Structure 1
Amino acid sequence: MITIQYNKKTIQEDERERTTTYLTINGVADEDSFYLAGDPPSAHFYNSEIINILTSHTFEEISKSFSKFTFPREVNWWDDSLDIKVYCNHYFKQEIPCTTIELRLNDWEHWAKPWSMSSLAKEFETNIARLGNERISYWQEDDETVLNGFGIEYKVPSSTALIRQEIDTLLPILKTIIDETNKRLLESLDSEVVLTYFQFPEEIKTACKQYLVYFTQFIADMGIKVDTELKEELNHTLFKIIPANKEESLERIKEALTIYLNAPNAHNFQAQISNQTDIAAKQWEANFYHLKSQLSLATSIIQAKDSTIEMLQLSNYQYKQLLESHSLKKESEEEEDVIPGIVSLNSYEGQGFKINLAEIFRRLKRGF
């Protein structure tokens, strides 16, 4: 049960004064809230304590007080804020119970993305359709323009559902749609490069980015010259690989990146690479141990917060749809003697791909 107090305050605007209504819910005041009386009544809130109170109720319970209430939500996977709208009772033509999440474009006057806002909205709508979920659909405030707001609409299965539970179910789905939208928009910019995206936890981002920077030297030691670009884009780490030779196969570069990201997970990789003598392998080893030490430190810090991360699983943070696992060609020679008669290397097999460590170390040479 909730109790509501309606409070008046005077706001000075230029040389005029106006009176507005703000609400107190269960004794908690939100002076930044505003209330729109009438039929149907609605309210917008900013106070997190009040938002928690309201969302801990069902749609049916809140419908006794509001037909609709809204509140902003900050997330780390969208540049601007989200505006969450909860419809509990009849609200014009809106089906109820229902939730919409608007993707705010607060800085549209200074839009600097390499695609238009309408292209963003169109790709977003296309990816919602790909879900094939009849309860989830594209939402746009004004049919004529996306500037007045667009987002996702979710038809709640029951008015007795808890509001918070339904929102918590919808947000990960929205994140997936946004990630796929961003990925496809970036991919459309240049077909002659390899683009891949990561979403590293903050505690390990620096170490992982340093490991990615070394990929330029690693692939050069494999006989392929590329330029790379690493930057933060759309709340993700974008890794761009540009072949020096336009005739170079992008598939070969993708395979090399797959090897580079997954080889450190191979069984006994540390022991195997330590037996190499070529400077190229020794530099890869040095970068591997630097990454490992940084991740070990980060793991300790995160575990102190009752969380965990997996060591060296860079590919866990990568969009699988873009850099798919490649079945690498089986080489005619499956083993190589590192120390003749004593140590030999076999291929490492992972999910959907096979890494031939022996072939890697044969090719990994540094010329002077």
Structure 2
Amino acid sequence: MLDIKFVPIKDSKKSYIVIDGHKDAEPYDENNTYREHRFQTKEVYDTILNYSSREIYEYFDEIIYYDLENPIASELSIFIHFYEMSFDINLNYSFYLNAWDKGFTFDNFLSVLESLLPDKYNGEDSKFLVDVENVVGLNLILPYTSDSISLHVRAFIEEINSLIKLTYLTLSANSEDSFISVFKFPESIKTPCQQYLMYFGQFLSDLGIEVETTLKEQAHSTLFSVTPKDKDDAMEKIKDVLEMYINLPNSDAFNRINNPNVALIQIQANVMHLNSQIMLAHATIQMKDATIEALKISNYQIQQQLYHQEIQKEEDEEAVIDGIISVKKYDGQWFSVNIPEILRKLKRKFK
């Protein structure tokens, strides 16, 4: 049982908090209606975390601790609020922007970090927010339990620290010679989605661009890196092709093309395989909606292009069988797939 003693400070209305024989250096005012205390002595703060949320709520509405030794940020502020039936943990990571020397902008860091966060941090019981321009805040609400809150606080901090490290790694790898895109796939269809991504290297080869691709899992995400063998191939061009590639499964017009082109048949087969696996995993969901959800890229660069891309209105045609069949450019809700241009590129390679 938590037993806190309040030792009066001479000639003061405040007291020192003593827990299990350890005294905190920060004076506490027992007369405040809102029972808030910022712990200054780490040993005392660690001690109170060993108790349950219900026990702590007997004494405090909120406890605070500033961790100046956190290896991830300039400062980590930990706010724990206690309510009748629950408690929440609020982590505020502060970054000193005048000393920011990561090789990428703080805005890019925020965008990639948000894309890497598990879905649970976008729900009713948790939030991701930027309070001010240099503070990243994450909030997690938990029900009262009989176990130590230390388990929950440390697990939360360790998870976010790992995600921030992964964000640093991802952005650092986006050099002039290569780039990494971050994907979050539902577990039920992660394998076929990853298989589809790995074919992207062959797809680029059919377009005359030779690259090396690697795929690995980190945290809750899939990291897909692309490095062109010819340094003259612009990164932005490859990113544009990747944007188009991940939207091919959404294009009914592309899937209906009938052409003996070997490269075209191969990419259609990969698209059909992906769609069939999604249909099996989500039998009650329309295939198109499931595919869009499965292949929604978290990578900040490509996502910005998807949402801000202006849909082209002009028509374009390419003969599949001269004088008999032609196809036009396909417009989707958030993207445009230039099917004629794909055919032109592939036909140059395989004519």
Q: 1:250 aligns with which of 227, 235, 244?
A: 235
Q: 2:302 & 2:164 partners in 1: Cα distance?
A: 10
Q: 1:355 aligns with which of 334, 337, 341?
A: 337
Q: 1:214 aligns with which of 195, 199, 221?
A: 199
Q: 2:80 aligns with which of 86, 89, 92?
A: 86
Tell me if structure 1 keeps the 8 A contact 2:213–2:226. yes
Deviations 1:309-338 (A, max 9, x none): 943224414324445427599899810122
Structure 1 pair 184/357, CA: closer, same or farther in 2 (3 Å)?
farther
SS class of match (2:326): strand
Map of 2:90 onto structure 1:
100
SS class of match (1:228): strand
Map of 1:14 onto structure 2:
none
Q: 1:36 & 1:364 partners in 2: Cα distance?
A: 74
Q: 2:350 & 2:79 partners in 1: Cα distance?
A: 62
Matched, 1:288 2:271: yes
Matched, 1:44 2:44: no
Map of 1:133 onto structure 2:
131
SS class of match (1:325): helix
Q: 1:315 & 1:68 partners in 2: Cα distance?
A: 42
Q: Which runs of 5+ in 2 are unaligned?
A: 4-18, 29-36, 38-43, 65-76, 94-100, 115-128, 144-158
Tell me if structure 1 keeps the 8 A contact 2:180–2:226. yes
| Higher helix proportion | 2
Q: 1:263 & 1:284 partners in 2: Cα distance?
A: 9
Q: 1:153 & 1:195 partners in 2: Cα distance?
A: 25
Q: 2:183 aligns with which of 198, 214, 220?
A: 198
Which aligned pairs between 1:1-368 and structure 2 lie closer than 5 A? 6=1, 43-44=48-49, 63-68=57-62, 86-88=80-82, 99-101=89-91, 127=110, 133=131, 138=135, 152=137, 182-183=166-167, 185-189=169-173, 190-272=175-257, 275-300=258-283, 310-313=289-292, 314-322=294-302, 324-325=304-305, 334-351=316-333, 353-365=335-347, 367=350
SS class of match (2:305): coil
Deviation at 1:231, TM superposition (A): 0.9
Structure 1 pair 119/295, CA: closer, same or farther in 2 (3 Å)?
same
Q: 2:290 & 2:110 partners in 1: Cα distance?
A: 32
Q: 2:324 & 2:333 partners in 1: Cα distance?
A: 29
Q: 1:361 & 1:345 partners in 2: Cα distance?
A: 10
How high is the sequence identity, in percent, across the aligned residues? 29
Tell me if structure 2 keeps the 8 A contact 1:194–1:253. no
Q: 2:335 & 2:185 partners in 1: Cα distance?
A: 23
Structure 1 pair 348/182, CA: closer, same or farther in 2 (3 Å)?
farther
Instruction: Give the structure-2-normalised TM-score.
Output: 0.56
Tell me if structure 2 keeps the 8 A contact 1:85–1:101. yes
Tell me if structure 1 keeps the 8 A contact 2:249–2:291. yes
- Read off the aligned partner of 1:237 and give its amino acid letter: T
SS class of match (1:261): helix
Q: 1:196 & 1:293 partners in 2: Cα distance?
A: 24
Structure 1 pair 251/153, CA: closer, same or farther in 2 (3 Å)?
closer
SS class of match (2:330): strand
Deviation at 1:64, TM superposition (A): 4.3
SS class of match (1:361): helix
Tell me if structure 1 keeps the 8 A contact 2:214–2:224. yes
Q: 2:288 & 2:194 partners in 1: Cα distance?
A: 16
Tell me if structure 1 keeps the 8 A contact 2:203–2:267. yes
Tell me if structure 1 keeps the 8 A contact 2:311–2:331. no
Tell me if structure 2 keeps the 8 A contact 1:211–1:291. yes
Deviation at 1:224, TM superposition (A): 0.9
Structure 1 pair 352/202, CA: closer, same or farther in 2 (3 Å)?
closer
Deviation at 1:84, TM superposition (A): 7.4
SS class of match (1:191): coil
Q: 2:134 & 2:57 partners in 1: Cα distance?
A: 23
Structure 1 range deviating more: 247-256 or 315-324? 315-324
How many residue pairs align between the two structures?
259
- Read off the aligned partner of 1:311 and give its amino acid letter: A
Deviation at 1:181, TM superposition (A): 7.5
SS class of match (1:284): helix
RMSD of the alignment, in Å? 5.1
Structure 1 pair 324/221, CA: closer, same or farther in 2 (3 Å)?
farther
Q: 1:319 & 1:364 partners in 2: Cα distance?
A: 27
Tell me if structure 2 keeps the 8 A contact 1:255–1:328. no
